[in-house]
């Protein structure tokens, strides 16, 4: 954008304020925040105070941490970013749920990719029962429906020694 | 407590698309109704190489075959009953009384049997002249 490039030339960084659903305000450089498509569009519409009604302070703090780190991304620190990402997805499942929902709402594509991959990785090699327990999902099939679902791909559910552990 | 079955549909699709091993994809779809709605063929990358299931030799007394799932580190032993897929191995003998054997030139499946049980097997075989058989 013309305005942001001219302000960076003069050394003055354009600042934006993000407001969480709990009412906390975070002031950040525009260059960091525009990784988020939803906010980028609001900035283009002239907003500088951006209320995020669907994102609480705890989640927003994590998202800002992610955006700050990824704004530093260059050719030379790929390894560092990779390690950061690895640590970033180590939080509790409840936190990841809030994060992935917020990343979806804010359209931060990189963060959505990272979280969805981490969630998909947790399913690898698990049994249906183990996946339900890991994600705390209650079985909403009737016994008949479940029988039908299992019948469709019987080979994938029977006789195997699945990983029933919950890590 | 969050409810993972209530994730928005488009997010579930993004997750489903990242489950790349066929066996895991089937498990993903069996977890609950909302996850199942995204575990469709469209969201599974068929172009990715899958470790084939190893079919074991038939047991004469049974009309099912057993499979080993190599991608589950040789642990997964699977039973594939013919009512869900393979025709009974006596099928060809029944069509050709008096013949001890038939020569199969070509066998074609109408769909990838690892993704659906709804497919047709067509066999071009030679008994009394060339014939086609369908299951």
Q: What is the pLDDT of residues A102-135, one digit of tens each?
A: 999 999 999 999 999 999 999 988 889 999 999 9
Model confidence at B3: pLDDT above 70: yes
**Chain A hits for B21, Cβ within 8 Å:** 124-125
pLDDT, residue B76, reads 41
B121-127: strand order across its sheet: B103-109, B121-127, B129-134
Among B10, B11, B17, the residue to mutate for chain A (most A Cβ within 10 A):
B11
Number of Cβ within a 10 Å radius of residue A87: 8
Please, what is the end-to-end C-alpha distance for chain A in angstroms? 46
With contacts defined as CB-CB under 8 Å, which chain A residues touch B67? 155
Helices A57-71, A109-123: crossing angle, 10 deg rounding: 110
Q: Which residue in the block uniquely carries the two structure tokens 């019987």? A: A154
Taking contacts as CB-CB distances below 8 angstroms, the residues of chain A near B32 are 132, 137-141
ipTM higher than threshold 0.95: no
What mean pLDDT is reported for chain A?
87
pLDDT, greater one: B77 or B47: B47
A49-51 and A15-19 as β-strands: parallel, antiparallel, unpaired?
Answer: parallel
- Residue B32: what pLDDT? 94
Question: Which chain A residues are Cβ-neighbours of B112 within 8 angstroms?
Answer: none
CA pair distance A42, A57, nearest whole angstrom: 20
Cα(A39)–Cα(A30) distance, integer angstroms? 10
Q: Which of B14, B20, B38 to mutate to test the interface with A (most CBs of A within 10 A)?
A: B14
The CA distance from B102 to B91, in Å, is 11
- Distance CA(A39)–CA(A107), nearest Å, equals 9
Q: Is A104 part of the contact surface with chain B (CB cutoff 8 Å)?
A: yes
Q: How many helices (H) and strands (E) does chain B have?
A: 4, 6
CB contacts, 8 Å: B66 with chain A? 159
Q: Using DSSP, state whether B109 is helix, strand or coil.
A: strand
Alpha helices in B5-62 (DSSP H): 9-16, 22-30, 33-36
Q: CA nearest A16: which of A38, A36, A35, A33?
A: A33
Could you say which of A98, A113, A152 has the minimum Cβ distance to residue B117? Answer: A152
Q: Based on the number of CB atoms within 10 Å of its own CB, is A141 exposed (0-12), middle (13-18) or buried (19 or more)?
A: middle
Q: Which two tokens stand for residue A33?
A: 């925040």
Residue B81 at interface with chain A, using a CB cutoff of 8 Å: yes
**pLDDT score, position A162:** 63
Q: Is A140 helix (H, G, I), strand (E, B) or coil?
A: coil
Where chain A has pLDDT below 50, the residues are 1-9
Q: Is the pLDDT of residue B111 over 90?
A: no
- Say whether B79 and A141 touch across the interface (CB within 8 A): no
Grade residue B79 by pLDDT with cuts at 50, 70 and 90: very low
Out of A125, A127, A141, the one facing B33 most closely (by C-beta) is A141
pLDDT at B112 (0 to 100): 74
Nearest to A165 by CA among A135, A130, A139, A140: A130
Q: How far is CA B126 from the centre of its chain?
A: 26
Find the residue in A nearest to B72 (Cα).
A125
pTM, full prediction: 0.70
Provide the shortest C-alpha distance from residue A117 to chain B (in Å).
6
Please check whether residue A81 touches B, CB under 8 A: no
CA angle A156, B76, B116 (to 5 degrees): 25
B15 at the A interface (CB within 8 A)? yes
Chain B: closest CA distance from residue A67 (Å): 20
């Amino acid at each position: 954008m013309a305005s942001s490039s001219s302000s960076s030339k003069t050394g003055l960084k354009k600042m934006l304020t993000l407001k969480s659903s709990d009412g906390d305000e975070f002031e950040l450089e525009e260059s960091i925040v525009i990784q988020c498509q939803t906010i980028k569009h609001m900035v283009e519409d002239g907003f500088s105070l951006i209320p995020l009604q669907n994102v609480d302070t705890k989640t927003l703090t994590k998202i800002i941490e992610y955006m700050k780190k990824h704004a530093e991304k260059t050719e030379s620190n790929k390894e560092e970013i990779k390690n950061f990402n690895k640590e970033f997805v180590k939080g509790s499942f409840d936190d990841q749920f809030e994060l992935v929902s917020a990343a979806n709402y804010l359209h931060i594509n990189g963060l959505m990719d990272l979280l969805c991959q981490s969630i998909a990785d947790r399913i690898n090699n698990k049994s249906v029962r183990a996946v339900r327990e890991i994600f705390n999902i209650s079985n909403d099939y009737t016994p008949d429906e479940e029988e039908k679902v299992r019948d469709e791909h019987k080979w994938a559910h029977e006789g195997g020694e699945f990983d029933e552990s919950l890590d | 407590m969050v409810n993972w079955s209530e994730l928005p549909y488009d997010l579930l699709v993004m997750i489903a698309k990242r489950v790349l091993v066929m066996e895991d994809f089937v498990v993903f779809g069996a977890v609950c109704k909302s996850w199942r709605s995204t575990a469709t063929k469209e969201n599974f990358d068929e172009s990715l190489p899958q470790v084939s299931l190893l079919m074991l030799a038939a047991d004469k007394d049974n009309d099912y075959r057993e499979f080993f799932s190599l991608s589950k580190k040789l642990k997964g032993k699977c039973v594939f009953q013919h009512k869900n897929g393979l025709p009974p191995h006596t099928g060809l003998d029944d069509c050709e009384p008096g013949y001890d054997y038939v020569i199969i030139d070509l066998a074609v499946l109408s769909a990838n049997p690892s993704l659906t049980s709804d497919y047709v097997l067509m066999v071009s075989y030679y008994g009394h002249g060339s014939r086609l058989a369908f299951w």
